[in-house]
Amino acid sequence: MSPLASANIFSNKSPIQDWRIVRREIVSRKTDAFGHTGYSFSYSGPDLIVSPRNDIYVPFSPRISNLARTKNAVADLARLGVSAAWLDGSKIGEFLFVKNDLYKGLEEFYTAPTGVDWDAQKEGADYVMSRVSRAYIKAAFGYAATAVCGSDHKRIFFRYELPVLVNNSNVASINDLPREMVREFYAINKDEAFQVICWAELLLSKSRMEANDNEETRRDFLQRQYFLNGERSLILSRVAPLSKKWALKREEKREEIFSNYAGLICNNALKNMLSDIRPLCPTVISIPMHAGKSRASHAVPA
Please report, for the chain, the start and end positions of each structural domain, with discontinuous segments joined by +. Answer: 15-301
Looking at residue 51, its pLDDT comes to: 85
Distance CA 157, CA 198 (A): 12
Residue pair 114/18 in contact (Cβ under 8 Å)? The answer is: no
Looking at residue 291, its pLDDT comes to: 45
Confidence of residue 295 (pLDDT cuts 50, 70, 90): very low
For the stretch 185-204, what's the b/e string if a residue is b when 16 or more beta carbons lie within 10 angstroms of its beta carbon? bbebbbbbbbbbbbbbbbbb
Q: Model pTM?
A: 0.91
Separate counts of helices (H) and strands (E) for the chain: 12, 10
- Model confidence pLDDT, tens digit, residues 17-63: 999 999 999 999 999 999 999 999 999 988 888 888 888 899 998 89
Q: What's CA 155's distance to the chain center, in Å? A: 8
What Rg value do the Cα atoms of the chain yield, rounded? 20
Write out the DSSP string of 140-190: --EEEEEE-TT--TTSHIIIIIHHHHHH-TTEEEETTEEHHHHHHHHHH-H
Looking at residue 45, its pLDDT comes to: 87
